[in-house]
């Protein structure tokens, strides 16, 4: 009953805030630590970092992609906009790679707040957040508009 209740509340929340969040003027942005020398990333560079091709920024300094755990709404929106895939397909991609012994270099955070905190404290980190959460300690390197 409690679980049902939670689903219900989530559904209400999604109905009330989801669409607003999806189509409002709060687009997702990719950010790094303000002291990170990287100023700007291309879409391909961004994909290569998050899909495991590279674990370094274009200037060869180590990069740590920061992910949200589970099927967070922001995560769903991020992959939908970046590679046009559902989260399940992205997860399937990683599952397949796991058999070949490839380990993911990403760091997982439970929500966007913690994610921001991680990036602020880690110069090598790179992550995605709604534009509204940008602080002066973060540097935007890519804007996901559409």
Residues 102-121 within binding reach of another protein (CB under 8 A): 102
> Would you say 54 or 108 has its CB closer to another protein?
54
> Would you say 45 or 112 has its CB closer to another protein?
45
Contact pick of 29, 41, 49, 51 for another protein (by CB under 8 A): 51
Directed axis angle between helix 43-50 and helix 73-82, to 10°?
130
Find all residues with CB under 8 Å of 49, minimum gap 6, and list them.
Answer: 41, 55, 57, 63, 65, 126
State the binding string over 70-99 for another protein (x if CB under 8 A, else -). ------------xxxx-------x--xx--
Q: Are 127 and 107 in contact (CB under 8 A)?
A: no
Shortest CB 138 distance to another protein, Å: 25
**HSE on the CB side for 65, CA within 13 Å?**
22
Shortest CB 114 distance to another protein, Å: 27
Strand-pair category, 64-68 with 125-130: parallel
Cα 137 from chain centroid (whole Å): 17
> Would you say 76 or 97 has its CB closer to another protein?
97
Residues 4-43 within binding reach of another protein (CB under 8 A): none
CA dihedral (52, 53, 56, 59) in degrees, to 10, reads -150
> Would you say 100 or 145 has its CB closer to another protein?
100
Is residue 44 close enough to count as binding another protein by CB under 8 A? yes
């Amino acid at each position: 009953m409690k679980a049902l209740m939670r689903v219900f509340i989530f559904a209400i929340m999604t109905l009330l805030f989801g669409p607003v969040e999806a189509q409002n003027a709060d687009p997702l942005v990719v950010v790094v630590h303000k002291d990170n020398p990287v100023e700007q990333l291309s879409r391909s560079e961004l994909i290569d970092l998050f899909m495991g091709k590279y674990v370094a920024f274009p200037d060869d300094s180590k990069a740590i992609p920061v992910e949200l755990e589970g099927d967070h709404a922001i995560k769903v929106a991020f992959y939908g906009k970046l590679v046009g895939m559902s989260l399940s397909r992205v997860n399937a991609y990683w599952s397949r790679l796991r058999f070949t012994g490839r380990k993911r270099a990403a760091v997982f955070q439970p929500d966007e707040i913690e994610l921001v905190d991680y990036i602020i404290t880690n110069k090598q980190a790179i992550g995605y957040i709604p534009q509204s959460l940008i602080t002066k300690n973060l540097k935007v390197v890519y804007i996901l508009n559409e």
